[in-house]
Amino acid sequence: MELWFSDYHTEKVKVSVKVQKQLFGLQTEFQRIDVFDSDEFGRFLSADGSIVFSEKDEFIYDEMIVHVPMAVHPHVKNVLVIGGGDGGVARELGYYEEIEKIDVVEPDRVFVEVCKEFFPDNACGLGDKRVSIYYEDGLKFLRLRQNEYDLIINDAIDPLGHNAGLFTKEFYGNCYRALKEDGIMVYQHGSPFYDEDEESCRVMHRKASHSFPISRVYQAHIPTCSSGYWLFGFASKKYHPLEHLDAKRWKERHIKTWYYTTNLHKGAFMLPRYVEDMLEEEEDRKK
Amino acid sequence: MNRNKQIHAPVYEALERLKRRRVVPFDVPGHKRGRGNPELVELLGEKCVSLDVNSMKPLDNLCHPVSVIKEAEELAAEAFRAAHAFFMVGGTTSSVQSMVLSCCKAGDKIILPRNVHKSVINALVLCGAIPVYVNPEVDNKLGISLGMQVAEVEKAIKENPEAVAVLVNNPTYYGICSDLRTIVQVAHAHKMLVLVDEAHGTHLYFGENLPVCAMDAGADMASVSMHKSGGSLTQSSLLLTGKNVNWEYVSQIINLTQTTSASYLLISSLDISRRNLALRGKESFAKVSRMAEYAREEINSIGGFYAYGKDMINGGSIYDFDVTKLSVYTRDIGLAGIEVYDLLRDEYDIQIELGDIANILAYISIGDRIQDIERLVGALADIKRLYAKDPEQMPNAEYIKPTVCVSPQTAFYGEKKSVPIRETEGMICSEFVMCYPPGIPILAPGEMITREIIDYIIYAKEKGCSMQGMQDPAVESLFVLTGKY
């Protein structure tokens, strides 16, 4: 038997993964969720037909979205994770003892349940006693918060799907308000490579750079993401991702990572010329 | 309502049957199921262009329905509890004009509120009837026209016993309803017909706990914008008639101006939407009401915005409120509604229905999702954070009673000249001036121009409202009547 799962990166490019078995499939109130076992990527989860994460490469994503801001901000106590119902981000945050509170906001309860059942290595992060899960719309949750968080991680994907509200000007504005005066927000910035993704990448940077005094972009190689090349956004009220990187302090924590190092941290902000040009163009654009 | 009958959609079913027959077209339209216009097919899709067909025996004819369109209209009449229903393809404008033209001739008087849609006064230009305006009380804070008060209608009837009809705007764009049942009783007692512009009220026929609809209140005719809350395609509409109206005569009136090439896209969309409403309308509008009420609570909890609802009801000028409408007063954060409307579109990629001097109106419908409501609320919170100013004095929104000097028809066709707007005080206007949306006239042909009106026009223009109706698009000058009247 041959069974292939195809993830469309554009209308005319697809990446196919040979599947051993489908473990789960359901249309929830918000999205279609499927779980598969494969030889190459191990177990993976897809939402509305696109791979969200796989056992094989989720470490790259989770480490990069957590350790980069944590190695910069000197005193993180309160963290908000928007999306992130799989628990991978919460798991990485769990390594930091000074964190007192981790709020995870995930509208889709079924998504969390599926991750708990099929991805216990990620979902264990949600078991940390500092974690509270709120089954709510991210925008709504933020609206009621002011000057409360040191770090906000927008772990939501797909700016065109049910998470569209998390890639808008009002989202960045509401994040700004929910952050303390030296807060940092990191977010998925998508892939700049294909034409159809480029525009949303541009818009995101434009909105973030107009909402925050410091707004930088960093990169990682994530095979299951569109084109395998993925960007993250680092928007901050006070700390610069390179000038305020405290490599010594971070190394002394002895956190075991497979992707992130403080050297890679610096390299991740060194972007290809075409990406740099694109971002600069958006920064220069008038509102 | 017979559910077993309402599951049918006769026009839709006839189109499906026709498609299966693969008829070779040697009739119009000339694109021949799209083959002659590939770009159009690319844009609209093959299915859509293949349904763009001409009237023919299997599909009936809107000008004189005898088969499937007749059946579809009968089903619509049943669903809307009317004696007869006409499918209309010229927008609700054509429904409203057909209502007026069906009961008014030259020189007849018709009683109406000032906040009528321009289509009503356009009908008066066509037929030569004379408007008798009833003062719709204006809410001073919100700056919007309210409903028609029974006492005002009675007064107008007493002063104009020869009037032939009363026209009511119900609900208004902003969701405000008049005491329709009593107005019908009063008008009928004086042998006047009651016409209802129900452009914003399709859902009243199907939802629960909503204000009374025109047919249930005993009105004689109603124009219903199916394409607004009913879900049909833009430009499709319904004209409903009650049991005391000669519908054959109404049909003749409709055919004076109606196209003889009515679009089957529009007709079938009316048919399918009627079926949806009849079968699922109750649940759909319960959901819409819940979403709108939720949005109201959330917007009011931001502070600085006032999303009004049933709390406005006062028994008179606001007899009832349509909770599916989401209107928000924005002046307390120092921004005009039109400014918030522009910010939402330009900065937040959110398009709402309208912004006027003091309010915005977001249209909530069966197509909305709760996460989109969250976006709207989030954007309003962010607008307050980034753009709020000290509230400035708003111009007085008192009702400016129009002085009708000559009939709209006489003024429209009369001899006229263009005069700079600031110099027009005391002259008789020969054209329309309105803010769009909502398209309610500030001046109509035949009315006296006053200082207050001139100030209002200049203010609305400065705030960025789209001014329409005049020959001069920049509203620097107005056409006024010359000579004696």
The answer to whether A182 contacts chain B (CB < 8 Å) is no
Q: Comparing A4-54 with A58-284, is the CATH topology the same?
A: no
Q: Which CATH superfamily is domain A4-54 in?
A: Spermidine synthase, tetramerisation domain (2.30.140.10)
Closest to B320 (Cα-Cα) out of B216, B166, B437, B398: B216
Q: Is A22 annotated as a binding residue?
A: no
The full set of domain ranges for chain A reads 4-54, 58-284
Below-50 pLDDT ranges, chain A: none
The answer to whether B349 contacts chain A (CB < 8 Å) is yes
Nearest to A174 among B298, B370, B381 (CB): B381
The answer to whether A175 contacts chain B (CB < 8 Å) is no
Helix runs in B129-179, H state only: 150-159
Closest to A121 (Cα-Cα) out of A88, A92, A96: A88
Give dist(CA B97, CA B115) in Å, integer: 16
Which residues in chain B touch residue A165, judged by CB atoms under 8 angstroms apart?
371-372, 374-375, 378
Mind listing the pLDDT tens digit for each residue in A246-281? 999 999 999 999 999 999 999 999 999 999 999 999
Instruction: Check if CATH label 3.90.100.10 holds for domain B408-481.
Output: yes
Report pLDDT for A156. 80
From the first residue on, what is the mean pLDDT of each consecutive set of 10 residues in chain B (485 residues)?
A: 93 93 88 92 93 91 96 97 98 97 96 87 94 85 88 96 96 94 97 96 96 97 95 97 96 95 96 96 95 96 94 93 96 91 92 90 90 92 91 63 90 93 93 71 90 87 79 88 78
B60-278, what's its fold?
A: Aspartate Aminotransferase; domain 2 (3.40.640)
Strand, coil or helix: B339: helix
Give dist(CA B350, CA A75) in Å, integer: 37
Closest to A187 (Cα-Cα) out of A143, A219, A155: A155
Q: Is A137 annotated as a binding residue?
A: yes
| Residue to substitute from B374, B383, B384, B386, interface A, most A β-carbons within 10 A | B374
Beta bridge partners of B417: B480
The full set of domain ranges for chain B reads 60-278, 281-387, 408-481
CATH number of A58-284: 3.40.50.150
Strand, coil or helix: A152: strand
B281-387, what's its fold?
A: Aspartate Aminotransferase, domain 1 (3.90.1150)
CA distances (Å), origin A27, targets A30, A33, A46, A229, B369: 8, 6, 12, 29, 16
The distance in angstroms from the start CA to the end CA of chain B is 54
Give dist(CA B34, CA B27) in Å, integer: 13
Nearest to A143 among B348, B349, B377 (CB): B377
Closest to A225 (Cα-Cα) out of A82, A91, A56, A69: A56
Say how far residue B195 (Cα) sits from the centre of its chain. 13
Q: Is A25 annotated as a binding residue?
A: no
